[in-house]
């Protein structure tokens, strides 16, 4: 009897361990986390102080429950003034992009939503159709262009650039920022939506105050005190995987992303919904 009891006990331990591992794995890959980053600039007009931006990047066609309602609820809870979709929202492996329509419509109903391409969208079989779906659902697509946001007598530029995987003859970031400053003044605050997380020096050289990016997937596996393990080029411990990075007057915010690509899991790296709060720094005039 003792032996039988011991076997049953061992089986129970194995079963509970398997359930705990499965639950942890599900949690790590499907339950959205969110953190708030405050980004300050003397160039931000007082009327736009406190603007809240929810950032979604690297979804790769993933859904979060029926109609992605779990993700939508996380965005609602963030109370954003606008929503940024920073590329790789779908990819060449997305079987049915129309399954993302409820998410897009839901986001647009929460706050004005803006999208820029990532590297993976440019290898989709029907990128024009995907862009049309976004627009039909109420999402504004920014392709090397900008709009203005005004409040309390102040105006900023919200701009978006195509990923470098796009057309070789596209308008450059330098041309776009020059166009913005010609229209709005040299000290105009620019909030730039981009996909790549490795271009901080370029944005700093152009004086763009805030850039929102993704692309790095948080390093796929995140280790305590060390951060992300793998870069998109499969290098170890890449620099820009999550959070804020500053060079000169430029701050880049990097999302850890929401989905997976290539390496089909996330570990200690839950799906990420950064919320960026723009603040006017005390040195502002």
pLDDT tens across 246-280, in order?
A: 999 999 999 999 999 988 999 999 999 999 999 99
Please give the average per-residue pLDDT across 23-49, as a whole number: 97
CA angle 278, 282, 285 (to 5 degrees): 100
Domain interval for residue 160: 34-280
Structural domain contains residue 285: no
Note the pLDDT of residue 283: 64
In angstroms, the CA 221 to CA 267 distance is: 5
Q: Is the pLDDT of residue 11 over 90?
A: no
Structural domain contains residue 38: yes
Phi/psi of residue 187, each to 5°?
-100, 15
On the 0-12 / 13-18 / 19+ scale of CB atoms within 10 A, 17 is exposed
Tally the domains of the chain: 2
Give percent of the chain above pLDDT 90. Answer: 90
Phi/psi of residue 178, each to 5°?
-65, -40
Same domain, yes or no: 147 and 246 = yes
In angstroms, the CA 59 to CA 63 distance is: 8
Same domain, yes or no: 142 and 39 = yes
Same domain, yes or no: 12 and 150 = no
Note the pLDDT of residue 61: 97
In angstroms, the CA 88 to CA 230 distance is: 18
Structural domain contains residue 208: yes
Note the pLDDT of residue 105: 98
Structural domain contains residue 175: yes
Residue 285: band (very low, low, confident or very high) from pLDDT cuts 50, 70, 90: very low
Nearest residue to 193 (alpha-carbon basis) of 246, 152, 140: 140
Structural domain contains residue 199: yes
**pLDDT digits over 92-107, tens only?**
999 999 999 999 999 9
Same domain, yes or no: 13 and 110 = no
Phi/psi of residue 222, each to 5°?
-110, 130
Q: Is the pLDDT of residue 5 over 90?
A: no
Same domain, yes or no: 7 and 146 = no
Note the pLDDT of residue 272: 98
Structural domain contains residue 150: yes
Same domain, yes or no: 218 and 117 = yes
Same domain, yes or no: 15 and 134 = no
Note the pLDDT of residue 2: 59
Same domain, yes or no: 196 and 235 = yes
Structural domain contains residue 189: yes
Note the pLDDT of residue 1: 54
Structural domain contains residue 242: yes
Q: Which of the residue ranges 6-10, 17-21, 216-220 would you say has the lowest mean pLDDT?
A: 6-10
Please give the average per-residue pLDDT across 61-69, as a whole number: 96
Same domain, yes or no: 25 and 94 = no
Instruction: Tell how strand 190-193 and strand 154-160 pair up.
Output: parallel
Residue 284: band (very low, low, confident or very high) from pLDDT cuts 50, 70, 90: very low
CA angle 139, 72, 141 (to 5 degrees): 15
Residue 139: band (very low, low, confident or very high) from pLDDT cuts 50, 70, 90: very high
């Amino acid at each position: 009897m003792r032996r039988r009891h011991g076997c049953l006990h061992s089986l129970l331990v194995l079963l509970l361990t398997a359930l705990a591992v499965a639950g942890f794995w599900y949690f790590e890959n499907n339950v959205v986390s969110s953190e708030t980053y405050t980004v300050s600039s003397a160039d931000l007009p007082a009327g736009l102080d406190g603007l809240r931006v929810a950032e979604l990047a690297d979804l790769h066609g993933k859904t979060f429950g029926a109609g992605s309602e779990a993700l939508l609820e996380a965005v609602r809870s963030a109370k954003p003034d606008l929503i940024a979709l920073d590329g790789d929202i779908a990819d060449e492996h997305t079987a049915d992009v129309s399954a993302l329509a409820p998410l897009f419509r839901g986001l647009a109903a929460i706050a004005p939503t803006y999208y820029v391409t990532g590297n993976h969208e440019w290898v989709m079989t029907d990128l024009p159709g995907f862009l049309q779906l976004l627009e039909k659902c109420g999402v504004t697509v920014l392709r090397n262009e900008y709009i203005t946001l005004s409040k309390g007598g102040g105006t900023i530029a919200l701009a978006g650039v195509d990923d470098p995987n796009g057309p070789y003859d596209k308008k450059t970031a330098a041309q776009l920022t020059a166009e913005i400053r010609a229209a709005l003044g040299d000290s105009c605050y620019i909030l730039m939506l981009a996909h790549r997380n490795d271009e901080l020096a370029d944005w700093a050289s152009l004086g763009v105050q805030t850039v929102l990016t993704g692309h790095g997937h948080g390093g796929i596996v995140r280790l305590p005190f060390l951060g992300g393990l793998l870069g998109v080029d499969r290098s170890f411990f890449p620099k820009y995987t999550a959070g804020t990075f500053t060079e000169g007057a430029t701050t880049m915010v990097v999302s850890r992303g929401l989905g997976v690509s290539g390496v089909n899991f996330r570990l200690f790296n839950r799906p990420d919904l950064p919320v960026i709060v723009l603040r006017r720094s005390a040195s502002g005039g």
